[in-house]
Amino acid sequence: PPETSAAVLARTRRGPAPVTDVAKLCVCDLLVAQCDVNCCCDPDCSAADFSLFTTCSVPVVTGDSHLCSQKAAIYSLDVEANPPERVFKLIDQVNPSIFCIHATNYEQALTFSSPEIPTSENFDQLLKQFGSGAFSAEPERWDMNADDQNLSDANETYRYQYGVPVQTVDAFLRLPSPVVSSWCSDGNPAGFLVNQATKCIRSVSVEKCNDIQAVSMLFYINSSILAVPKSSQMVNISVQSIVIQSLNGMRTLLNDSDVLRLPMILDGLCINVVLRVSYHITYTDAGEIIEAAAAFVLGAINKEALSIEQSFEISFTQVNTTPVPLSGNPGYVVGLPVRAGFRPQGYPFPVEIMSAALLLNTNKYSQLTILQSTASQDCLAAQGARAPVLFGYNMISGCKLRITAALKCQPLAQALLDLLKGQSFPEYVASFGNSQAQDVLDWVPITHLYISEQRIYNTFQSSCQIPVSLEIEVKWTKYGSLVNPQARIVNVTATITTTTLKQLPSGRERTILITSSVVFTDVSSPAEPGYKAWPTINAKLPFDFFFPFV
């Protein structure tokens, strides 16, 4: 009959009825229709099963222990009897405390409330109450807090903070990026001060060349950026440069970047398709964006192309500063090049040094370099290939020098020194990854050591010494807090080992090995715990304590 099935449906929707009779409650009865081991309250166990138990896992089942008098079911095993049998007692347990609950007039006091089963009537209300990530017992208060937040924000002046999406007139400045797969998703906003570079694949075809918005320049410079969030001050995105890339990969920089080049079909190709966009945003230290520029690389696609790879980049520069490539902030990051520079020429030392800034090579990978081993392994044919010294990476390189009788010593020594040290060997190394060139005291001078391989028993013999190895030892220490130690360079020593070049008889040849190496040594001293001083007891009697007598 339909009513009973509806009743059954209603009952199942409500959930099972709670069991409150202690005689029927059994928490160790986990297996249905089977006897659980050592579960004395299990109704599926027979007397034969009970005789095999060793102990009762659940000795007593009671209700709420706060109540003054409550029923308790006590299960125990009588091991004296043969065979052992289970003893079940139902007693009234009395709570001796005077704070026991005698009665309550509030039904939900001592039981867990069963949650509301969602139906079509109460679904919206339940969703409003429990649908968010966190909910409290009083949903009204949650709404009130949101209103308060809006009011307080209205009076505050806005500014961009790190990570906040850069807002434009429509929505956000988009940096298409791959999400889950490599296909481009246009919903990724660019975060303020977050330098990002992304690459993704977009499906295109020559027929839909004009329809796909994301391959047109206009899509990227159309909406202006808001200088400050939620304001009406707008900053137009200017086109910094346009590079045209032909089908075979050749790139040409266009002279006039004012003309907007939109995709169009020409000779069966779709040209002016955006392949790469680089945004450069200039900001002030007040969190305002004052300038935005975009550099494009436009390419062409032919009929066979089904997809193109687009790459996007965004970088932020503070106004009135030149972007200095940092090797860490403040401590050096392993893998980034060690920064080094020179004292400017013509400055007499030592007084003027404190006010003079150091000169650095603009290419951060060329500031401190060592010889790079080549395939030919011939020193004199080395062609000047240098490898940058990266922080934390010990490196060794070398080459073989063929000495013949015809080689003159002095020019050879000079050539080898140039080979080992490079064209511009720096004088100072930055102690921190973000040391500025103006702060000369933040820079560590390179100490030079000259060691001769031979033992000095014939010092008076003016033989010729040629350098055979350059070893740069960089001593660094951990600086700062224990949880976030920063790497700091404290000492750089460049050791040049020389050896005597013995004159060879003509026709004979010798090969010597020229090496150069960089070693990073951690000289951090172990951290010392700092303890607060013991509190001193400052007990002094008032000066008139012994009044009548003193």
Partner 1 sequence: SSSQMSSVLLQLLFYINGIYLIFYCLATLALLLYKSQAFSYPEDLLSVDLTLFVVTAIAEVLRLCLGVRGNLTEEESLLGLSLVMTVGSTFLAVYFIVWQTYVLKTDIILNTVLLVLYGMESILKVSTIAAF
Structure-token pair, residue 328: 């860490």
Distance CA 451, CA 471 (A): 11
Instruction: Pick the closest to residue 43 from 10, 73, 2, 70 (CA basis).
Output: 73
Positions in 472-531 near partner 1 (CB under 8 A)? none
What is the pattern of x (binds partner 1, CB under 8 A) and - over residues 18-57? ----------------------------------------
Smallest gap, in angstroms, from Cβ of residue 88 to partner 1? 29
Smallest gap, in angstroms, from Cβ of residue 70 to partner 1? 14
Instruction: Write the CB contacts of 375 (distance below 8 Å, at least 6 apart in sequence).
Output: none
The count of other CB atoms within 10 Å of the CB of residue 515 is 17
Structure-token pair, residue 426: 């720096």
Smallest gap, in angstroms, from Cβ of residue 142 to partner 1? 17
Positions in 363-422 near partner 1 (CB under 8 A)? none
Smallest gap, in angstroms, from Cβ of residue 65 to partner 1? 12
Positions in 143-162 near partner 1 (CB under 8 A)? none
Smallest gap, in angstroms, from Cβ of residue 101 to partner 1? 6
Q: Closer to partner 1 at the Cβ: 99 or 545? A: 99
What is the pattern of x (binds partner 1, CB under 8 A) and - over residues 107-146? -xx-------------------------------------
Positive or negative torsion for Cα 315, 317, 322, 323: negative
Instruction: Write the CB contacts of 95 (distance below 8 Å, at least 6 apart in sequence).
Output: 65, 66, 67, 68, 69, 70
Distance CA 91, CA 367 (A): 88
Whether 122 contacts 251, CB under 8 Å: no
Positions in 50-69 near partner 1 (CB under 8 A)? 66, 68
Smallest gap, in angstroms, from Cβ of residue 146 to partner 1? 23
Smallest gap, in angstroms, from Cβ of residue 124 to partner 1? 25
Smallest gap, in angstroms, from Cβ of residue 66 to partner 1? 8
Smallest gap, in angstroms, from Cβ of residue 112 to partner 1? 10
Q: Closer to partner 1 at the Cβ: 94 or 265? A: 94
Whether 310 contacts 184, CB under 8 Å: yes
Burial class of residue 337 in the structure, from the number of CB atoms within 10 Å of its CB (0-12 exposed, 13-18 middle, 19+ buried): buried
Positions in 215-234 near partner 1 (CB under 8 A)? none
Structure-token pair, residue 524: 């951090």
Q: Closer to partner 1 at the Cβ: 110 or 218? A: 110
Q: Closer to partner 1 at the Cβ: 25 or 100? A: 100
Whether 268 contacts 303, CB under 8 Å: yes
The count of other CB atoms within 10 Å of the CB of residue 538 is 5
Judged by CB under 8 A, the number of residues near partner 1 is 14
Q: Closer to partner 1 at the Cβ: 114 or 458? A: 114
What is the pattern of x (binds partner 1, CB under 8 A) and - over residues 68-107? x----------------------------xxxxxxxxxx-
Instruction: Write the CB contacts of 313 (distance below 8 Å, at least 6 apart in sequence).
Output: 196, 197, 198, 276, 277, 278, 279
Place of tokens 């020098």: 401
Distance CA 413, CA 376 (A): 21
Q: Closer to partner 1 at the Cβ: 93 or 241? A: 93
Q: Closer to partner 1 at the Cβ: 110 or 490? A: 110
Prior bond of 96 cis (ω within 30°) = no
Smallest gap, in angstroms, from Cβ of residue 58 to partner 1? 26
Q: Closer to partner 1 at the Cβ: 27 or 109? A: 109
Q: Closer to partner 1 at the Cβ: 108 or 536? A: 108
**SS3 (DSSP) at 378:** strand
Smallest gap, in angstroms, from Cβ of residue 95 to partner 1? 9
Q: Distances from the Cα of 21 to the Cαs of 43, 59, 276, 467, 501, in angstroms? A: 14, 16, 73, 96, 103
Distance CA 362, CA 322 (A): 11
Q: Closer to partner 1 at the Cβ: 136 or 238? A: 136
Q: Which amino acid is at 362?
A: T
Structure-token pair, residue 71: 């029923």
Q: Closer to partner 1 at the Cβ: 108 or 155? A: 108
C-alpha torsion angle, residues 329, 334, 336, 340 (rounded to 10): 80
Smallest gap, in angstroms, from Cβ of residue 109 to partner 1? 6
Q: Closer to partner 1 at the Cβ: 135 or 450? A: 135
The footprint of partner 1 (CB under 8 A) covers 66, 68, 97-106, 108-109
